[in-house]
Amino acid sequence: MSSLCTADDVTQFQRDGFLIVKNLITAEEVDLLGEVARADQLLSQSAYSRQDASGQATTLAVRNDLSDDIYSTIARSNRVVSRVTLLLDGEVYHYHHKLIFKEPRVGGAWEWHQDYGYWYHNGCLLPDMASCMIAIDRATEENGCLQVLRGSHVMGRVDHGKTGDQTGADLERVDIALKRFELVHVTLEPGDAVIFHANLLHRSDQNRSDHPRWALICCYNTRRNDPYKESRHPCYSQLDVCEDEEILVAGQRQLASLHNHAGESAAM
């Protein structure tokens, strides 16, 4: 499995604002990731919800720090970091990572927004940032897959304001953008990923299906874009990139620890 993007991939990312990568993590790795995430009580306890405009909630858990767990290991794995480095044309560091839990029938929508619409206020002067969303479950139109406006990152930053419990992009601009840019539903199989620019307009529908849509999103900033002030997400520090083989090792170790902890709790 190649860790690098091709020249065509870079051109596509620059033109479209996103790049779909099939099988970014293997079937064995994504099965393990899903098993760990669903058994991780600390993860579920730290999760919180954001309501959409209609009051439906989507749940997420955000981590600013890296550890030895499978989520962090994927975030600093060579196959992810090398791709983002090439697409953003410079050294990147871990900005944060998060897990999104869009549950069957009740999972809420994400309103139209740009990630830089948030991150701009964290002291990042440039939109030289990107996210890598890795599907844990199948992402379909029915269960609320990511939607993007192809090429909308060239619009630059759009003003954002409150929409429900969330922060969304200026709807007047979004309405015009919907007429001028192609709407793409990013359907993914487990282990597939989409890497997208921080200024790309994106959203997702509510999950109206009987199937969950969980995903891991790893977010990166460039070293040259080191924030000028402190915020909830970190300033630059050199990323300790790991070999891809460490993903399975970290996941298996974490799953064993979770099972041991569950067994101890049951025995009390």
Encode pLDDT of 1-53 as tens digits.
445 889 999 999 999 999 999 999 999 999 999 999 999 999 999 999 887 77
What's the pLDDT band for 106 if we cut at 50, 70, 90? confident
What value does the mean pLDDT take over residues 201-212? 95
The whole-number pLDDT of residue 246 equals: 98
Where do the domains of the chain lie? Answer: 7-267
User: In the CATH hierarchy, which fold is given to the domain comprising 7-267?
Assistant: Jelly Rolls (2.60.120)
What value does the mean pLDDT take over residues 81-88? 98
Burial class, 241, CB count within 10 angstroms (exposed 0-12 / middle 13-18 / buried 19+) = middle
- Residue by residue, DSSP assigns 43-56 as HHHH-EEEE-TTS-
The whole-number pLDDT of residue 91 equals: 98
What value does the mean pLDDT take over residues 77-99? 98
pLDDT exceeds 90 at position 133 = yes
The whole-number pLDDT of residue 244 equals: 97
The whole-number pLDDT of residue 75 equals: 98
| Of residues 123 and 164, more confidently modeled | 123
| Of residues 258 and 3, more confidently modeled | 258
Task: Identify the helix (H) or strand (E) that includes residue 219.
Answer: strand 213-222
Tell me the C-alpha distance between 63 and 57, whole Å.
20
Tens digits of residue pLDDT in 52-61 = 777 787 899 9
Tell me the C-alpha distance between 69 and 205, whole Å.
30
pLDDT exceeds 80 at position 207 = yes
> Which token pair is 235?
């300033």
Question: What is the edge-to-edge ordering of all strands in the sheet holding 57-63?
Answer: 18-21, 193-197, 129-135, 213-222, 92-102, 57-63, 48-51
